[in-house]
Structure 1
């Protein structure tokens, strides 16, 4: 009996480790090309490797897996992830009929969204909410509202919801006090935050502009959404690029579901408040006080509750996504 067991055990161990290696190995070869100084991954290869079904027409390429649906557009710098607008770092590149996605977008958007594994899985216990501006820095202002007041009200509402779910929540400021951008990220780091969300309000010279947008830190070597120029700089916050994107996506989607506001998309920026944080983070712009309708909404307690529920739901959904 012992002799038989000694022969079977190595075979079982071989099967466990060899089988695991087969499961982890990528069965699909990813074709790639170099163009404009960057590597681009064949989108259809990437989709196949992630188990997505592809359907395409002359105007779009759709990837589906389970409940997830992504739509890409030839030569466009945006896509729709479950109907949420997501700005790409670079436009989808077409070589005849072959679509290529910039590797930075493949690594930091497509893989974390459709993949079964995240490079950085982490606990979420302590969350730092950052009410933008404050004190001498009032932020932007509309006809009736100031940004610093809206952000503090919202932050408190979000904190109360998250605490009811058992999270430890801290605010970078609890009163109308002046706080530098560096002090905000330093506070999150000092408190060993697991997540960081900064809340802001928008403004535009064109008063017809309205809606919600969410930012995460631009990956190193990529161009921010409001720029076409790549920047090589890598910041501390770039260590969590895929998680930053997933958090931003869930925040944007959840706020839109709660408020039915206009979708201005998930975007990339090198905001100072996001550059130095050691945990995944995002910055939300919850509306435009320069727009009459948005300002009226932002001044409504009922609408602020919707926004707060959306931000909290985004955090909860991000937390759930880590269990994949």
Structure 2
């Protein structure tokens, strides 16, 4: 009888320690989650996710980005980012945003934010611009000039889904570095996870603007599907 009590007491002690440990983890997760993006971005769904995706709406606030006939890139960027966030959450993916409002932000803190919360991947959504020639159109993605396999796979998967969803879109492919051929865009240089900058058509192109407005939901679903498909290849 004494041996059984000792054994029972040990088991109870172990169980209590395990419960306290779980409560400590849950408490810590709560602290981290409540600190995510003060501009109201992260999902409030309490489900424990395997991956966290960070989406970045380019420009914002005083930085309007490209402008064409009264249309501001920052507005298109934010609208699409919010739509993609919703689609990803419908797929069970946890999403954090660098901004969910029309606020100004430097580029480095955007990527540092994704690093801080150990995001599985980082996608920055923009619109392109070509001065003086409206016929230039199409969608492209920019990655680090090293053309790391994971960066290229992320960008390629998104572009493939866009082409399937909106066949009329011109896909200009995956490009590395910067348009002037020097270094890398800050997002792709600072991010410590697979990243890409998605240029969702030229705001200077009536053709691209018409496609974006007409197939807005299709683009959002395609981008989300591409991101989701890539997350399924990760071992996290």
TM-score (norm 2): 0.72
Match of 1:308 in 2: 220
In the comparison of the two structures, how many residue pairs are matched?
179
Aligned 8 A contact 2:93 2:228 in 1? no
CA distance in 1, matches of 2:226, 2:119: 17
Hey, which of these two has a bigger chunk of helix by percent?
2
Offset, 1:214 = 1.0
Is the contact made by 1:131 and 1:200 (CA closer than 8 Å) also made in structure 2?
Answer: yes
Query: In structure 1, which of residues 278, 286, 301 is the aligned counterpart of residue 200 of structure 2?
Result: 286
TM-score (norm 1): 0.53
Are positions 1:250 and 2:176 aligned together?
no
Matching of residue 213 in structure 1 with residue 130 in structure 2: no
Higher strand share: 1
C-alpha distance in 1, partners of 2:50/2:149?
A: 16
Q: Give per-residue Cα distances to partners, 1:200-229, cap 9 Å, x unaligned.
A: 00010221100100111110xxxxxxxxxx
Structure 2 runs not aligned, ≥5 long: 1-48, 178-183
Higher relative contact order (CA 8 A, sep 6+): 2
**For residues 207 and 305 of structure 1, what CA distance do their matches in structure 2 show?**
24
- Counterpart of 1:282 in 2: which secondary structure? strand
User: Alignment partner for residue 276 of structure 1, among 190, 193, 214?
Assistant: 190
Instruction: Please tell me whether the aligned partners of residues 51 and 231 of structure 2 are also in contact (alpha carbons under 8 angstroms).
Output: no
Superposed displacement of residue 199, structure 1: 0.2
Q: Distance in 2 between the 1:216 and 1:294 partners?
A: 22
Detail structure 1 runs of 4+ shifted over 2 Å in the superposition: 319-323
Contact between 2:140 and 2:173, CA under 8 Å: does it hold in 1?
yes
| 1:176 CA drift (Å) | 0.3
| Partner SS, residue 213 of structure 1 | strand
Distance change (3 Å), C-alpha of 1:182 and 1:244 = same
Aligned to 2:98: 172
Shift in Å, 1:124? 5.2
Question: Which secondary structure does the structure 1 equivalent of 2:92 belong to?
Answer: coil
Q: Does 1:182 align with 2:108?
A: yes
Per the alignment, do residues 143 and 296 of structure 1 end up closer, same or farther by CA in structure 2, a change over 3 Å counting?
A: farther
Alignment of 1:1-324 (within 5 A): 125-205=51-131, 206-219=133-146, 241-260=148-167, 261-269=169-177, 270-298=184-212, 300=213, 302-322=214-234
Distance 1:166 1:313 in 2: 11
Partner of 2:21: none
What are structure 1's unaligned runs of at least 5 residues? 1-122, 220-237
Contact persistence 1:251–1:314 (CA under 8 A)? yes
SS of the equivalent of 1:208 reads coil
TM-superposed CA distance for 1:144, in Å, is 3.9
**How big is each residue's C-alpha offset from its partner over 1:61-120, in whole Å with a ceiling of 9 and x where there is no partner?**
xxxxxxxxxxxxxxxxxxxxxxxxxxxxxxxxxxxxxxxxxxxxxxxxxxxxxxxxxxxx
The alpha carbon displacement at 1:319 in A equals: 2.3
